[in-house]
Structure formats: structure tokens, C-alpha cells
Amino acid sequence: MRRHHRRLPLSILVMACAALLLPHCETRSDELPVSILAARIGGHIHPSICRTSRGTLVVVYKGANVLMCARSVDAGATWSTPEPIATSAIRPDVIREVKTFEVYPGTADVLPDGRIVVTWNYIADDKANDGYYERALLYTTSKDQGRAWSSQQLIGPVDGRHLGAVRHNVLPWSNGKWLLPLRVGPPRLFDPQTNELVVYPLVGPDEMQHEFQQIVRTTTGSLLAMGPVLLHSADNGHHWKLVDGFPAIPDKRDNAEGRFLTSLPDGRVLVTWGIGNNNKGIRYNLSTDDGQTWDAERTVTLLPETPVTARYYSARTISLDDQHVGTVFMNRDGVHFLNVPLEHFSQ
């Protein structure tokens, strides 16, 4: 595997302390990011990350209307040269050919059988001509740590309508099903063997079915659903309670896309987020009791002077081992990875 190891340009590695601007946030700047892609970028890049059972890190993001994949076997210290996932660039048969189209990235996740599953949309836009616009939801899998990928598969449509984007991660469910947190509409349970799709009702004390939710299972078996509010369930989703004091509640709809929950092996839960369109730094906050309580005063900001695109999937954090997490993020200078010791959040 060809690897590269690039540090971010010095222009975005100014690690000045932002404590005066963020009085309730401890700021640290011990680590330097590693660039997975060091190039000027724009548009819907949307990097996603997962860690396989063998410890390989896989990052997927959008290239020139194809998904690109980079891999690391040394906890993110070096990365392979990104390569296209060829199946992602193919127009599905259910979508007619139009001049304006886009491959729109979703997520990368690991299934219980060890395969990686990657989702995306193929968008066909002919609204200017006859109003035609379709956004098919597709997926591909890899059983060899992200080297080779299966042919694309379609999820949906439902009642003649395609499902659109999966903004947050696919959650493996019982009996081989996947829970899909859709950008529009309620979450749905998907059976990849039968292609059956069933609405998954997720209603909290406010009696509202929210969209845009990231749904994760903690290592203790509880569920967390992060949308306009954070909800917690201790009985596999039969009942949900509101979590008070969550530090990453969005003040705008788009900001909800730049937050990410990470379940740690010891039962703690980490939230990673940014604020607004001109965000700098990556904010972290750690819950020590399964995501049920949070202390906003313990928010830690890393890279406080580095531009970090806080909307559209950035930043995202995964557990690397008992002592470290890894965060993938993007800005105009590329896609980058930060290895972070958990001790930063425990002091």
C-alpha cells in the first residue's frame, strides 16, 4: 500500500490559544493533523471514517463525481494514496441519464460480519428542462478492508420516491437489518436480504418524530438519538427520555450536520462538533455515564485557530483504542486526520 504523510500547511497550523474568546472551553494544541488529501477543495466532499475489526482506518470522501477511499494501518500516522470506488460513479438503471448529475457521499460503517458498507446518492437534476429530479440511495460493501468493492445496490424507493441522503451513520440492527437515519423523513429499518424498508418510530417526550438524527448504540447497550435535542433509551428504543444540558445543541438546522457522537469502549460517549460557517477548531465533550449527563464546562477545543468545516459531515470521530480517538475533518485545504489522546478530555 502506497502511503503518504503530509502535515497541514503552516498557514493553518497556527495554534494560538483561544481561551479569551471561548471562556468556558479549555483549548489544547498538542497534536498536528495529517493530511489525507492536501489540495484545494470545495463542494460536497463530506469525509466519513470507520475502523475495521483488524484496525484498518478507512476514510471515504467525494472526488470528481466518484467516491474516493484512503486507508491507514498505523492509526492514521500515514495514509494510502486515495483511490476511486469505481462502483460509486455508475449511474443506476432506475435513474435516467441527464446532463447535470452528482455523486453525493453518505457514510462509511463496519457491519457485524466485518464488511465495510458505504452509502451515497446518485443525483440526476433536469429540473430546468422538465422538472425531473431524482436522488437514488445506493450502497456498496467491501470485505477486504476497503481494497475492493461490490457492485452498487439500491435502497428503496418507497411509494415511487427515492429516499435521498443518509446524513449520519448506518447502525447495524438485529436480524441483519440496518437502521438508516435519513436526511428527510423518519429513520427506516432496511433488510439488505429482502430489500424491505420499515419506518422506525423514534418519538421522545416532545411527541415529535425528528429528521436529521444520528442514532448510536453505546457499549452498555443504550441508544442515543441526536437531532434538535439529544434523546436516550435504555430499553432498545421502546422509550426515550430527554437529555438535559447537552452542549452541542444546534442553533441552526445546518449545524446539526456537523456534530458526531462516538461511543467509546468503556461506556463513555464523546461528542465532536463545530459552530457556524466560519468555524475554527474542533470541540469535544465527554459524557462519563452513557450519554445521560454532560458538563458544558468540560468542553475542550483542539486546533483553535485552524479552519474546520463544521457543516456537512465534518468533523467525525471514531475510537482507535482504549486511549485514543481519531477525527477526520475537512477545510478548503483538504481532508485531514487528527489522532487525539483521550486524556485530553478526562482532566
Check residue 210 and give its pLDDT.
83
Q: Which runs of E-coded beta strand occur in 157-265?
A: 171-172, 178-180, 188-191, 196-199, 214-217, 223-226, 230-233, 241-242, 260-263
Cell of 179: 437502521
Report which of residues 142 and 186 the model is more confident about: 142
- Residues in a beta bridge with 263: 269
- 163-187 pLDDT per residue, tens: 888 878 999 999 999 999 988 888 9
Mean pLDDT across the chain:
89
- For the entire predicted model, the pTM comes to 0.90
What is the rounded distance in angstroms from the CA atom of residue 323 to the CA atom of residue 2?
A: 27
Range of the domain at 167: 3-345
- Domain at 57, CATH number: 2.120.10.10
Side-chain half-sphere exposure of 33, counting CA atoms within 13 A: 32
The count of structural domains within the chain is 1
Cell of 216: 448510536
pLDDT greater than 70 at residue 19: no
- 289-315 pLDDT per residue, tens: 999 999 999 999 999 999 999 876 789
Check residue 252 and give its pLDDT.
61
Element (H or E) spanning 318, and its range? strand 316-319
- 41-98 pLDDT per residue, tens: 988 999 999 999 999 999 999 999 999 999 999 999 999 999 999 999 999 999 999 9
Amino acid 73 reads: V
Share of the chain above pLDDT 70, in %: 89
Amino acid 336 reads: H
